[in-house]
């Protein structure tokens, strides 16, 4: 990863963003925004986003929806995370760089922040070991096992499963938005998340994925 030019904190609560103040104290350029809609980004700048879990809309795994939308474009970490309200494994598989918990001390927060800005993951060692062992086992097996598929399916939210079924039926974004009473922008965000979780690059690959795992998909729906 290239050198980070700016840390952008998405902080949707009234209290001051103490983590941004801490980052500034060690010489990092920071910016705090209250609403994701306020984002106006220049392409030439390398940014690292930190999204507060507190005060924002979350998916079924406790992950902020705005983080899921941005993670395919920028490095993302979560802060002000309340323990037992978020699935760390789901966050890691989504591509989130790390988690900073609300009950952690300043020294640990600063260490985690520095590690992530240096392109290191910041998760509990037990989880990192578990995920590494899972990867090794998967490589040894020479392919994706049924257990891998079930884990992937469990990462999908109920809304995402519904959208997969609608996409499979041939519905376009506008039709999906109308049927689910949501905006087309929200549909696009869901589909982007679905592509990441199913490792699909487009709708054609998503359809193949859905057809391949149809029986397991129906069991998890």
Of the two residues 137 and 194, the one the predictor is more confident about is 194
Going by C-beta distance under 8 Å and a sequence separation of 6 or more, which residues neighbour residue 107? Answer: none
| Residues of the domain holding 149 | 144-220
Lowest mean pLDDT segment, chosen from 42-51, 62-71, 175-184: 42-51
pLDDT by residue (tens digit) across 76-126?
Answer: 999 999 999 999 988 888 889 999 999 999 999 999 999 999 889 999 989
- pLDDT above 90 covers a percentage of the chain that reads 33
- pLDDT single digits (tens) 28-64: 899 999 877 777 665 567 889 999 998 888 888 898 8
Residues 156, 82: Cα–Cα separation, whole Å:
22
Residues 91 and 180 occupy one common structural domain: no
Residue 196: its pLDDT value, please?
85
* Position 1 in a domain: no
Domain-terminating residue out of 93, 124, 155: 124
Tell whether 161 and 81 lie within a shared domain: no
What total number of domains does the chain contain?
2
* pLDDT interval class at 198 (50, 70, 90): confident
CB neighbour class for 128 (10 Å; exposed up to 12, middle 13-18, buried from 19):
middle
pLDDT for 217 = 52
Q: What percent of the chain has pLDDT over 70?
A: 82
- 90, 124, 158: which is the final residue of a domain? 124
In a domain, 134, yes or no: no
Residues 172 and 211 in one domain: yes
Mean pLDDT in residue range 62-75 = 85
List all residues 6 or more positions away from 99 whose beta carbon is below 8 Å from its beta carbon. Answer: 77, 78, 79, 81, 86, 88, 91, 122, 123
What mean pLDDT do residues 156-175 have? 86
- Among candidate residues 80, 96, 124, the one where a domain is terminated: 124
* pLDDT higher than threshold 50 for residue 164: yes
Per-residue pLDDT band for 201 (boundaries 50, 70, 90) equals: confident
Q: What is the DSSP string of the chain?
A: -PPP-EEEEE--SSS--HHHHHHHHTT--EEEES-GGG----TTS-EEEEEESTTS-B-TTS-BHHHHHHTTTS-EEEEEEPTTSS-HHHHHHHT--BEEETT--HHHHHHHHHHHHTT--B--HHHHHHHHHHHHHHHHHTS--HHHHHHHHHHS-HHHHHHHHHHHTT--HHHHHHHHT--HHHHHHHHHHHHHHHT-SSHHHHHHHHHHTHHHHHHH-
Mean pLDDT of all residues in the chain? 83
Q: 50: domain CATH number?
A: 3.40.50.2300
Classify residue 133: in a domain, yes or no.
no
Dump pLDDT digits (tens) for 203-213: 888 888 777 66
For the ranges 48-52, 130-134, 159-163, the one whose mean pLDDT is highest: 48-52
């Amino acid at each position: 990863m290239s050198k980070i030019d700016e840390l952008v904190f998405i902080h949707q609560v009234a209290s001051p963003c103490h983590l941004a103040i801490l980052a500034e104290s060690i010489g990092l350029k920071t910016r705090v925004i209250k609403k994701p809609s306020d984002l106006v980004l220049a392409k030439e700048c390398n940014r690292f986003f930190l999204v507060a879990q507190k005060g924002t809309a979350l998916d079924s795994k406790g992950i902020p929806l705005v983080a899921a939308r941005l993670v395919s474009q920028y490095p993302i970490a979560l802060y002000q995370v309340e323990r037992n309200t978020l699935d760390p494994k789901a966050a890691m598989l989504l591509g989130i760089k790390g988690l900073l918990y609300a009950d952690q001390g300043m020294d640990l927060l600063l260490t985690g922040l520095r590690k992530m800005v240096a392109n290191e993951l910041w998760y509990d060692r037990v989880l990192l070991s578990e995920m590494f062992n899972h990867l090794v086992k998967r490589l040894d097996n020479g392919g994706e096992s049924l257990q891998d598929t079930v884990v992937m399916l469990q990462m999908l939210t109920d809304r995402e499963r519904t959208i997969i079924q609608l996409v499979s039926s041939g519905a376009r974004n506008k039709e999906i938005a109308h049927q689910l009473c949501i905006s087309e922008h929200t549909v696009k965000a869901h589909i982007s998340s679905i592509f990441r979780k199913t490792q699909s690059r487009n709708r054609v690959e998503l359809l193949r994925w859905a057809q391949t795992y149809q029986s397991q998909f129906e069991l998890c729906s």
